[in-house]
Amino acid sequence: MHITYFLGKIARALFTMVLVVTFVFVVLRATGDPAQAMLPEDATQQDIEHFRSMWGLDKPLYEQYGVYWLNILKGNFGQSYRDRRPVTDIMAERLPKTVYLMTLSIVFAVIIAIPMGVKAALNRNTFIDRFTMGTAVFGFSMPNFFLGILLILLFSVKLKILPSSGSDSWKHIILPLLTTGLAYIGSYSRFTRSSMLSVLNKPYIRTAIAGGLSRNRVIYGHALPNAAIPVITIIGATVGRIIAGSIVIETVFAWPGVGRLLVTSVGARDLSVVQAIVMLLSITIVTANLIVDILYGILDPRIRTKKGGV
Amino acid sequence: MNSDLLTVSNLGVDFLTGGRTINAVQKVDFSVREKEVVGLVGESGCGKSVSCMAILRILGETAKTTGSIRYKGTELLDLSESGIRKIRGKEIAMIFQDPVTSLNPVKKIGSQLIEIIQLHSRLSSDSARKKAVSLLEQVGIANPADRLKDYPHQLSGGLCQRVMIAMALAGDPNILIADEPTTALDVTVQAQILSLLKRLNRERGMATILITHDLGVIAENVERVFVLYAGLVVEEAPVDVLFKKPAHPYTQGLLKSLPRMTDDKERPLVPIEGVVPSPENRPSGCCFQPRCSRSTEICLKKQPLLESLGSGDHKAACFHAEI
Ligand SMILES: Nc1ncnc2c1ncn2[C@@H]1O[C@H](COP(=O)(O)OP(=O)(O)O)[C@@H](O)[C@H]1O
Ligand SMILES: [Mg+2]
């Protein structure tokens, strides 16, 4: 595949990331004062000034900005005002929790949604199709926080069988997993269905049937490999948005990952933490997009061979 | 005279889509004898493809097929799903109009060909590969072993059609249905594919149904011809009879609109006026009547049946057939 094509993409992605981080850097400082957010109500003027000089907040904005990037180049993402610990340490604790919840949701959704979409396509316009697609639209259009709260009301408050917050046991992951999983199932299964329907009308499917292949061979050996290509793009896009996607769900279920950390850190004006998460968020999106591009090339020989092989 | 290998009689096909019924094929009768090449000819939309796909029952669930399709004495319309699957590819194979899109774009030629070979014979993958190479050789593909590694989009239309033919040969069928096999190809390639089909018919004794809208293709390649119009067979004749003494006004019109090498420059090319009625807008009586110069009262009222004109091999569905 074209190296320059990818270098160009990476350069543009890096540029976007710098813009986003800069924007967040400025906005956070322009809209509130970390010293006031961090220190107790009765802190003296002296305390506040001490806090500011300790974190370099008394310096001009451009100087803070320059120092910030210099540190990053040295691998130093700053300290959390709140925890008095390096941001990297905090992230190392929080990130695995988010990755765990979100990848499990995606895997769960893929396992359910792909057979569901295929089934719906094969039974087009029957009860099965309407039922599965009804469920899909429900999962897709229901806001995460709302569905999450409904599930908490049902399983935690009313039935008292599942915990509503935290991450201490395997039971804790069930509700958040269901909530995010259902949304993913909604979008993956609808994609699988429409992709499958368009593939089933293709001449090569007729060839496979006319050649005498069994129904399963035609569906899983010939139709699905073609139908999967656009579906994988969609899955890749959600993988890229796991950090962004974790914000609401982790807040609703008090799941101790980076999504929730972002929300509390914005409230507390914990600048270094917010900046690090925003940077991570843009990096994951960019990386996932690149991976999807490469995957597309691997899965679709028409693209691969045109670009001269991966 | 050889006996019939395949007899299609009184075939009708309706498509039930969106609450409407589309009568794609009204009444089609034709037969194929052993080792014979027959042609189905007619303008686009007259039901050639649908009639042939009905034989293999690959029209999908919206199609309702009536009549009878007998192959070696077996009624294909009565077979179970697994029964008809044993006919597909093994007894009757089919190739299509657009060879490039008829091959799976994400699978290599080799894997598609070997899959079909292994379906029809219990060969190990090694011997299946050897057979794939030999089949590609038989259809005139150079460097067959290299071609196995190619994807369909890397090959030309003509090569893809050869691959399709090789796949059709994998089950060693008794009948090959070739649905406009050269329509999507360049003229020079057309001739090569047609001569390949002819050679395979000769060498393997494989009967062939050649579908085309081009009477020129029919003239050189088939023994008997069935002319279709609006989902009906309107004339049936041995090829020389059809060209010398066409009986149905539609066939006569088709011939008049056909340019010929041997033409004296005087003979004008006359297209048939009007258009083929779509399944939804068929006229009363004879379907050709609105475009016919010979039509009379009876043509408006009754649909003429396909009837023998003296010699048993020449039939036409016309009240005013020229004998
Ligand atoms: N799957 C389908 N659903 C509805 N109508 C169809 C379908 N396939 C073919 N038809 C209709 O049947 C008629 C005959 O089509 P076809 O056999 O493809 O014509 P041709 O002689 O050009 O091969 C056409 O009017 C076409 O629109
Ligand atoms: Mg056709």
Write down the mean pLDDT value for chain A.
89
Task: Tell me how far apart the alpha carbons of residues A252 and B104 are, in angstroms, rounded to a whole number.
Answer: 46
* Closest residue in A to B98 (Cα–Cα): A203
Task: Enumerate helices (H) and strands (E) in chain B, giving the number of each.
Answer: 11, 12
Q: How far is A226 from chain B (nearest CA, A)?
A: 7
Of A233, A221, A137, whose CA–CA distance to A185 is shortest?
A: A137
Measured from the Cβ of residue B126, the count of other Cβ atoms closer than 10 Å reads: 8
3-state secondary structure of B70: strand
Asked if residues A237 and A292 have their Cβ atoms less than 8 Å apart, the reply is yes
Packed helices B125-138 and B109-120: angle between N→C axes, nearest 10 degrees = 110
* DSSP structural state of residue B280: G
**What percentage of chain A carries pLDDT values higher than 70?**
97
Task: Tell me how far apart the alpha carbons of residues B221 and A299 are, in angstroms, rounded to a whole number.
Answer: 42
When CB atoms are compared, the residue of B56, B98, B120 closest to A203 is: B98
Mean pLDDT confidence for B76-88: 96
Task: Tell me how far apart the alpha carbons of residues A239 and A232 are, in angstroms, rounded to a whole number.
Answer: 10
B12-65: per-residue pLDDT in tens? 999 998 889 999 999 999 999 999 999 999 999 999 999 999 999 999 889 999
* DSSP structural state of residue B276: P
When CB atoms are compared, the residue of A210, A221, A301 closest to B88 is: A210
Question: Which class for B308: exposed (0-12), middle (13-18), buried (19 or more C-beta within 10 A)?
Answer: exposed
pLDDT at residue number B97: 94
pLDDT at residue number A2: 64
Mean pLDDT confidence for B212-237: 93
CB contact under 8 A, B106 and A300: yes
Going from N- to C-terminal start, the domains of chain A cover 91-267
Asked if residues A132 and A143 have their Cβ atoms less than 8 Å apart, the reply is no
**A41, two tokens:** 């109500």
Q: Find which of A195, A206, A220 to mutate to test the B interface (most B CBs within 10 Å of its CB).
A: A206
**Ligand 1 closest atom vs CA B53:** 17
pLDDT at residue number A307: 46
In this predicted structure, the answer to whether residue A304 has a pLDDT above a threshold of 50 is yes
Of B187, B141, B145, B143, whose CA–CA distance to B164 is shortest?
A: B141
3-state secondary structure of B155: coil
B278 CB near ligand 1 (under 6 Å): yes
A10-23: per-residue pLDDT in tens? 888 888 888 988 99
Asked if residues A95 and A258 have their Cβ atoms less than 8 Å apart, the reply is yes
In this predicted structure, the answer to whether residue B195 has a pLDDT above a threshold of 60 is yes
pLDDT at residue number A101: 95
Name the amino acid, one letter, at B284: S
User: What's the pLDDT band for B265 if we cut at 50, 70, 90?
Assistant: low
pLDDT at residue number A1: 54
Of A13, A79, A96, A12, whose CA–CA distance to A286 is shortest?
A: A13
User: What's the pLDDT band for B2 if we cut at 50, 70, 90?
Assistant: low
For residue A11, how far is the Cα from the chain centroid?
Answer: 22
Write down the mean pLDDT value for chain B.
93
In this predicted structure, the answer to whether residue B289 has a pLDDT above a threshold of 70 is yes
pLDDT at residue number A309: 39
**What percentage of chain B carries pLDDT values higher than 70?**
97
Mean pLDDT confidence for A215-234: 93
Name the amino acid, one letter, at A244: A
Mean pLDDT confidence for A281-296: 84
Strand B207-212 and strand B175-179: the pairing is parallel
Ligand 1 site-directed mutation target among B49, B53, B214, most atoms within 8 Å of CB = B49
Strand B63-71 and strand B74-75: the pairing is antiparallel
In this predicted structure, the answer to whether residue B323 has a pLDDT above a threshold of 90 is no
Measured from the Cβ of residue A55, the count of other Cβ atoms closer than 10 Å reads: 18
**CA dihedral angle for residue A239, residue A136, residue A199, residue B145, rounded to 10 degrees:** 40
CB contact under 8 A, B102 and A206: yes
Asked if residues A259 and A247 have their Cβ atoms less than 8 Å apart, the reply is yes
> DSSP letter string over chain A?
--HHHHHHHHHHHHHHHHHHHHHHHHHHHHH--HHHHHS-TT--HHHHHHHHHHTTTTS-HHHHHHHHHHHHHTT---B-TTT-SBHHHHHHHHHHHHHHHHHHHHHHHHHHHHHHHHHHHHTTTSHHHHHHHHHHHHHHHS-HHHHHHHHIIIIIIIS--S-SS--SSHHHHHHHHHHHHHHHHHHHHHHHHHHHHHHHTSHHHHHHHHTT--HHIIIIIIIHHHHHHHHHHHHHHHHHTHHHHHHHHHHHTT--SHHHHHHHHHHTT-HHHHHHHHHHHHHHHHHHHHHHHHHHHHH-HHHHHHTT--
Quick check: A210 contacting B, CB < 8 Å? yes
3-state secondary structure of B6: strand
Measured CA distances, A154 to A48, A88, A141, B256 (Å): 46, 38, 20, 79
CB contact under 8 A, A212 and B103: no
Mean pLDDT confidence for A89-110: 95
Task: Tell me how far apart the alpha carbons of residues B237 and B242 are, in angstroms, rounded to a whole number.
Answer: 6
Name the amino acid, one letter, at A47: D
In this predicted structure, the answer to whether residue B140 has a pLDDT above a threshold of 80 is yes
Compare B228 and A16 and report the one with higher pLDDT: B228
**A38, two tokens:** 């961090």
A50-65: per-residue pLDDT in tens? 888 888 888 888 999 9
User: What's the pLDDT band for B260 if we cut at 50, 70, 90?
Assistant: low
Compare A198 and B268 and report the one with higher pLDDT: A198
Tokens 């000769």 belong to which residue?
B202
Task: Tell me how far apart the alpha carbons of residues B89 and A218 are, in angstroms, rounded to a whole number.
Answer: 14
Asked if residues B176 and B95 have their Cβ atoms less than 8 Å apart, the reply is yes
User: What's the pLDDT band for A252 if we cut at 50, 70, 90?
Assistant: very high
CB contact under 8 A, A211 and B167: yes
* Closest residue in A to B87 (Cα–Cα): A212
Tokens 């199709």 belong to which residue?
A129
In this predicted structure, the answer to whether residue A308 has a pLDDT above a threshold of 70 is no
Name the amino acid, one letter, at B207: A
CATH among 1.20.120.1200, 1.10.3720.10, 3.40.50.2300, 1.10.20.10 for A91-267: 1.10.3720.10
In this predicted structure, the answer to whether residue B1 has a pLDDT above a threshold of 50 is no
For residue B118, how far is the Cα from the chain centroid?
Answer: 27
Task: Tell me how far apart the alpha carbons of residues B9 and B147 are, in angstroms, rounded to a whole number.
Answer: 41
User: What's the pLDDT band for A226 if we cut at 50, 70, 90?
Assistant: very high
Quick check: A301 contacting B, CB < 8 Å? yes
User: What's the pLDDT band for B263 if we cut at 50, 70, 90?
Assistant: low
